[in-house]
């Protein structure tokens, strides 16, 4: 089996509207969805210059367009807590869609890439997968020998848990940043914009319709064992969206 992956569909951070974002998931369970080829990067800095739609830093800390489709979150100043959508960047400048009015020099900010994918390291695929699902139904019960009616209404999925061991601090930071970012179907920051969050795609070793699951991360925890230097145990708790009716688990 190949390396497991978790991430968003390719192009989710640049869709034109919510319907276009939803459409990226239409073929789930029928054909494999292509995951983003970008990796999660988070950087921070202090504003050295501002224009109507961009901010700059004093030194070259960015790779050209690595944050296109990503998000800036202001950490200080009158716009503290505000999130801006990045459309492009140079090595020193981040350009947004919208207005930078209110952002000032010396304000602090952080910036994160948009739709990305985390690939679990070779020989470090999650070692446990645990889930169950329940068919919700209404029933009309009659005396035993006369039978009865059972009306299925749909499926309610329960916990979906995976557990992985990582050996790099940077890998842990990258994975946690991806799980923390909730991207909406319209390509925005779902929490800041109060929009419906698009699900992550968990891919089990191959880009196959039968090896992909749509999941929301409800919580994740990192466990460090002092007796195992350098090894981080990461447990991720997901809620699965649903399963294709005829595919089963």
Count of domains forming the chain: 2
Q: In this predicted structure, what is the pLDDT of residue 145?
A: 57
The answer as to whether 211 is a domain residue is yes
Write down the pLDDT at residue 24. 97
For residue 81, what is the domain's CATH number?
A: 2.40.30
* SS3 category, 18: helix
Q: Indicate the residue among 90, 113, 136 that finishes a domain.
A: 113
- Is residue 248 in some structural domain? no
Q: What is the pTM of this model?
A: 0.88
As given in the structure block, the two tokens for residue 82 are: 């505000």
| 122 in the same domain as 107 | no
204 inside domain: yes
pLDDT tens for 228-241 read 777 889 999 988 77
Sign of the dihedral through C-alpha 169, 45, 197, 37: negative
Q: Does residue 205 sit within a domain?
A: yes
- Residue 84 within any structural domain of the chain: yes
- Helix (H) / strand (E) element for 30: namely none
Residue from 42, 106, 46 nearest 70 by CA = 42
Give me the sign of the Cα torsion angle 173, 117, 203, 11: positive
User: Does 236 lie in the same domain as 127?
Assistant: yes
- Pairing mode, strands 71-74 and 108-112: antiparallel
29 with 47, same domain? no
| 92, 113, 134 - which closes a domain | 113
Query: Do 27 and 145 belong to one domain?
Result: yes
Same domain, 206 and 134: yes
SS3 223: strand
pLDDT for 158-204, tens place per residue? 678 899 999 888 999 999 999 999 999 999 999 999 999 999 999 99
Question: Which range of residues forms the domain containing residue 72?
Answer: 42-113
Which of these three, 96, 113, 130, is where a domain ends? 113
Determine, yes or no, domain membership for 176. Answer: yes
Judge if 69 and 101 occupy the same domain.
Answer: yes
List per-block mean pLDDT (blocks of 10 residues) for the chain, which spans 249 residues: 92 96 93 95 97 96 97 97 97 96 97 97 82 72 63 75 90 95 96 94 91 91 80 89 59
The DSSP letter of residue 31 is S
Find out whether 231 and 165 touch, Cβ atoms under 8 Å: yes
């Amino acid at each position: 089996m190949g390396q497991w992956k978790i991430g968003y569909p390719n192009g989710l951070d640049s869709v034109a509207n919510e319907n276009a974002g939803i459409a990226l998931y239409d073929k789930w369970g029928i054909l494999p969805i292509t995951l983003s080829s970008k990796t999660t990067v988070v950087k921070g800095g202090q504003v050295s210059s501002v224009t109507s739609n961009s901010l700059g830093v004093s030194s070259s800390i960015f790779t050209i367009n690595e944050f296109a489709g990503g998000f800036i979150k202001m950490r200080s100043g009158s716009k503290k807590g505000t999130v801006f959508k990045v459309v492009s960047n140079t090595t020193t400048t981040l350009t947004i869609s919208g207005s930078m009015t209110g952002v000032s020099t010396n304000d602090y900010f952080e910036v994160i890439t948009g739709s990305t994918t985390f690939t679990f390291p070779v020989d470090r695929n999650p070692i446990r997968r645990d889930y169950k699902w329940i068919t919700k139904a209404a029933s009309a019960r009659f005396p035993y020998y006369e039978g009865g009616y059972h009306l299925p209404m749909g499926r309610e999925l329960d916990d979906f848990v995976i557990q992985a061991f990582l050996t790099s601090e940077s890998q842990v930071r990258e994975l946690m940043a991806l799980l923390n970012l909730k991207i909406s179907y319209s390509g925005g920051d779902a929490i800041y914009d109060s929009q419906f969050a698009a699900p992550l795609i968990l891919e089990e070793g191959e880009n196959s319709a039968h090896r992909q699951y749509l999941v929301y991360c409800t919580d994740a925890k990192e466990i460090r064992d002092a007796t195992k230097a350098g090894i981080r145990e990461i447990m991720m708790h997901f809620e699965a969206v649903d399963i294709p009716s005829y595919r089963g688990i």
